[in-house]
Amino acid sequence: IPVVAIVGRPNIGKSTIFNRVIGDRVSIVEDKPGVTRDRIYGTGEWLNRHFHLIDTGGIEVGDEPLLQMMRHQAELAIDEADVIIFMVNGREGITAADEEVANMLFRSNKPVVIAVNKVDNFEMRDLMYEFYSLGFGDLYPISGTHGLGLGDMLDRVLELAPDKEDIEYDEDTIKFALVGRPNVGKSSMTNSILGEERVIVSSIAGTTRDAIDTPFSRDEQEYVIIDTAGMRKRGKVYESTERFSVMRAQKAIERADVVCVVLDGEEGIIEQDKKVAGYAHEAGRAIVIVVNKWDAVEKDDKTMKKMEEEIREEFRFLDYAPIVFVSAKTKRRLQTLLPVIKQAAKSHAQRIQTSVLNDVIVDAVAMNPAPTDKGVRLRINYATQVASRPPTFVLFVNDPELLHFSYKRYLDNRIREAFDFTGTPIRILARQKQ
């Protein structure tokens, strides 16, 4: 699907617009440590068309002077996006930085839409005319604070966006991604998994331009490894930033069934690892935790167990994710990875028969009824699985408000005891019974 990037000077309202367009898709259904709410990458929808949106302002490269920073943002937008929204401040007029960015965008030949922000009412429309001199044609007056003009702007953006759909793979093909911060060994692992097949099977340049898919088969199972070109083509200033690598990870997560969160066994867990894992969890993907560089770790018979305990402690929200220890370099234990990915994909796609599910729920309730809340008790009339990937269950109840977090957790555990959901999150929703 097309990628749209927003560029513009700091503090002119880019993230307000970003949030309005993406909407609040981050549902706060449980406490998830390590998950940031300040996103720079998300998926939007307008008139039934989907697109990815990047707020380049979220990628800061240290303490750069303004012009330098703007150059990097524009560079990023030019590299990553199909359409660029260039946002300017209607109340300030054209600045030197605006001109600089305009020149870069102009030379790139990318489609550009100029959004003049802070045009809060009709009388203020006169403010925007000077921006015609930037040379991009139509101007779109918008107001982030009032949410005005966004529809017209998005109409134009999508008019300019190339019509590209994601590649469709066979239902049974397992799409997986290796994500993690720079230098944990993602590229090495990709190469080690693919081995010589990489030369035989040529990679398909994804429709999302920079996503590279490599299909391969192993033990009669088809896989696609989703990689991002940015991991190989290095050198751009912004590519070394944490925010950029998180964005890359998000991009891969969106297209994958199974996300392998790669950790560096030598260096241990850092905050950024949790962030990436948090996104994969939120996105409802199956997850496998992969500890790489195990060859370089000095070990005794307790080292693995200790590391496992540390991971469980740090990634409490991923208690369903299996942990695999490998070395991409020596390939030791690497052969254990694909079977675990396969199992996670199977759990992720699993469908449970309604009658069997209801037996489990009835038993669970009989064993441990929901506590009363102001004298009222949750009553579950009926449960059914409404979706897979991830498995999503709806409980029809007397009052959805009565399904508290702890009881949901209890039911989650009971469902997991009854069925093998290793590697996948499951979602439990409550609806008022009709």
Residue list for the binding site: 55-59, 117-120, 180-187, 227-231, 292-295
State the burial class of residue 398 (Cβ atoms within 10 Å of its Cβ: 0-12, 13-18, 19+). Answer: middle
Minimum separation from the CB atom of position 332 to ligand GDP (A) = 8
Q: Positive or negative, the Cα torsion across 150, 155, 156, 157?
A: positive
Q: How far is CA 240 from CA 68, 236, 302, 340, in A?
A: 16, 8, 35, 31
Applying CB under 6 A, the residues found at the interface with ligand GDP are 180, 182-188, 231, 292-293, 295-296, 327-329
CB atoms within 10 A of CB 145: 12
| Beta carbon nearer to ligand GDP, 208 or 292 | 292
| Beta carbon nearer to ligand GDP, 231 or 341 | 231
Minimum separation from the CB atom of position 190 to ligand GDP (A) = 8
CB atoms within 10 A of CB 329: 16
| Beta carbon nearer to ligand GDP, 160 or 304 | 304
CA-CA distance, 262 to 245, in Å (whole number)? 13
| Beta carbon nearer to ligand GDP, 179 or 411 | 179
Minimum separation from the CB atom of position 249 to ligand GDP (A) = 11
CA-CA distance, 244 to 40, in Å (whole number)? 9
Which residue is nearest to ligand GDP, using beta carbons?
Answer: 185
| Beta carbon nearer to ligand GDP, 295 or 373 | 295
Minimum separation from the CB atom of position 342 to ligand GDP (A) = 22
Contacts (Cβ under 8 Å, ≥6 apart) of 235: none
CA-CA distance, 385 to 193, in Å (whole number)? 35
Pull the structure tokens for residue 302: 């307790």
| Beta carbon nearer to ligand GDP, 329 or 414 | 329
Minimum separation from the CB atom of position 252 to ligand GDP (A) = 12
Minimum separation from the CB atom of position 327 to ligand GDP (A) = 4
Amino acid at 256: A
Minimal CA–CA distance to 354: which of 379, 381, 385, 380?
Answer: 385
